[in-house]
Amino acid sequence: MAMSAVAVPTSGSDIGAPGDGQPQWRLPDAGWGRKAADAATLHEPQNIREYVAMHQHLKVGGGTRLLDVACGAGLAVELAAARGATAAGIDASARLVAVARDRSPEADLRVGDMRALPWADHAFDVVTSFRGIWGTTPEVLDEVRRVLRPGGLLGLTVWGHVKASPGAWALRPLLWAQASQVAHQAAMNSLGKPDVGERLLTEHGFEAVRRVVVPFVWEFADPESYARAVACTGPGYEAIQAIGEERFLHDAAQLAAEHARDGLPLRAEINLVGFIGRAPAPAGTGSSFLAEPVELTPAAAASYADDSAELGYVMNATRLWAHDTEALELLFKALGRVSRTAGLSIRDRGILVTAAASTLGDSYCSLAWGGKLATAASAQLSAGVLSGDDSLLDDRERALSRWARRAAADPNATTAADVEPLREAGFSEAQILAITAYVALRVAFSSVNDALGAVPDWQLRAGTPEAVLAAVTFGRAPAAGPGSS
């Protein structure tokens, strides 16, 4: 969360300065940690929408190894664990980490410098930072990339166009700080400007960087609770140092009173920007966790020859399945059978596969079929389906994509009502069975490839439209191509 990365003053009666023997990274504790209980209960819960949205974008769930950088009082860590993740966190404020440990005693929570993360290389699948990494701390991105596994995801948030936000008034008290501190805050917030965050993440080695919409709203019961919540933040503390705490609380409450609504909470919608980037695969990454057969069977050799003739290279998935090419042939024979029964075109199949594979978090089939769907339709349509946006599909296609996601995500959660759009689209009962079997067989194929570490071929990266590449920010990173280091 935002807590310990926000700028704090480097002088004053009760805050350490660089020359007093205290490391620079410890300074945020003076602002954020001084009222840790207020920060944890009045301020941090306002960020729940932000946490939930980013966890959803990152597909945080059972088995995810997640690190939250600048974790503050640990609410984001607690919510990640509730989704099944094994969570860790680091923050500069010992007082906030104490709250986080009280909330999540099973989590690996540490006090430390985010510029020197105390975890081994490739320790995490996902790293989050909720307004904790800024334009003034770009070096943290190198540490984040180090602790992410190849193909692991970074998700971070920063303030967007605050001045244009309906709730911009709620941040006005932060401007009561000294001019130099306000200027520093502006430099920190620069990542939200167009292309700035994307460029910075790319410069620090992240791939498939994309900007996402993140809902963010502050709500308070009354002006006094708003004033207390803002006062316990780092920038709020800077303003308090400039004008005094009594005046700050009075003026902030008076400001909020101007936005009070009878019978409703104070509400401030503020523009927030999210970025997602993927750690690349290192050069020399193997094609999968299995070694290729020492000797190829005639069937496997034929599959290699077919790939070379059609694609110009042998796919890593083909190398993996070379241990039982007959099983792969039977799987694809079944896929062909149900595809014909359902009357699926190449565009239909592309929609079904990209919708199901992206739901699973399978980058291999998402890239392979994302490219096919881009050819059959358009790169924008393909990227949309991969991202869960069906706005470019017609009603029939929308029924296919939504059913594929439902069947891939949780087949036990489907209802009779979920099947009805397929009937309305003109599919018969036999076709609906065939469509469902097609999705299930594709899920089986993806599951084997993913579980055994099949790495998307570097040629897929080279031949896939940019819009599709940008949408596939999940799963295993494509293999590094020739000349990569």
Angle at 207 between CA 409 and CA 451, to 5 degrees: 40
* pLDDT (tens digit per residue) in 25-77: 777 788 888 899 999 999 999 999 999 999 999 989 998 999 999 999 999 99
Helix 363-376 × helix 379-386 angle, to 10°: 150
Long-range contacts of 282-285 (CB under 8 A, 24+ apart): 282/150, 282/480, 283/480, 283/484, 283/485, 284/480, 285/150, 285/455, 285/479, 285/480
Handedness of CA 359, 364, 365, 367 (dihedral sign): positive
**Tokens in use for 245?**
């705490």
Q: Give the Å distances, CA to CA, from 198 to 151, 155, 204, 314, 470.
A: 17, 12, 10, 33, 11
| pLDDT given for residue 319 in this prediction | 93
Tell me the domains of the chain and their CATH numbers.
3-278 (3.40.50.150), 298-471 (1.20.1290.10)
Query: CA–CA separation, 233 vs 400, rounded Å?
Result: 47
Pairing of strands 272-278, 207-214: antiparallel
| Other CB atoms within 10 Å distance of the CB of residue 345 | 11
| pLDDT given for residue 3 in this prediction | 41
Query: CA–CA separation, 180 vs 186, rounded Å?
Result: 10
DSSP string covering 82-125:
HTT-EEEEEES-HHHHHHHHHH-TTSEEEE--TTS--S-TT-EE
Q: Which of 213, 105, 118 is nearest to 157 (CA)?
A: 213
**Tokens in use for 153?**
């995801």
| pLDDT given for residue 477 in this prediction | 83
| pLDDT given for residue 145 in this prediction | 96
| pLDDT given for residue 37 in this prediction | 94
| pLDDT given for residue 52 in this prediction | 97
Q: Give the Å distances, CA to CA, from 312 to 44, 305, 306, 368.
A: 53, 9, 9, 15
Using an 8 Å Cβ cutoff, are 228 and 44 in contact?
A: no
Using an 8 Å Cβ cutoff, are 479 and 285 in contact?
A: yes
Beta bridge partners of 217: 269
Q: Which of 8, 12, 11, 72 is nearest to 45 (CA)?
A: 72
Tens digits of pLDDT across the chain (485 residues): 444 443 333 223 233 334 455 677 777 788 888 899 999 999 999 999 999 999 999 989 998 999 999 999 999 999 999 999 999 999 999 999 999 999 999 999 999 999 999 999 999 999 999 999 988 888 999 999 999 988 889 999 999 999 999 999 999 999 999 988 888 777 777 888 889 999 999 999 998 888 998 999 999 999 999 999 999 999 999 999 999 999 999 999 999 999 999 999 999 999 999 999 988 876 555 789 998 888 889 999 999 999 999 999 999 999 999 999 999 999 999 999 999 999 999 999 999 999 999 999 999 999 999 999 999 999 999 999 999 999 999 999 999 999 999 999 999 999 999 999 999 999 999 999 999 999 999 999 999 999 999 999 989 888 899 999 989 988 888 877 665 54
- Pseudo-torsion of CA 376, 377, 381, 383, nearest 10°? 30
| Other CB atoms within 10 Å distance of the CB of residue 163 | 8
Query: CA–CA separation, 349 vs 343, rounded Å?
Result: 10
| pLDDT given for residue 484 in this prediction | 54
| pLDDT given for residue 86 in this prediction | 96
Rounded to two decimals, what is the model's pTM? 0.76
Q: How many residues does the chain have?
A: 485
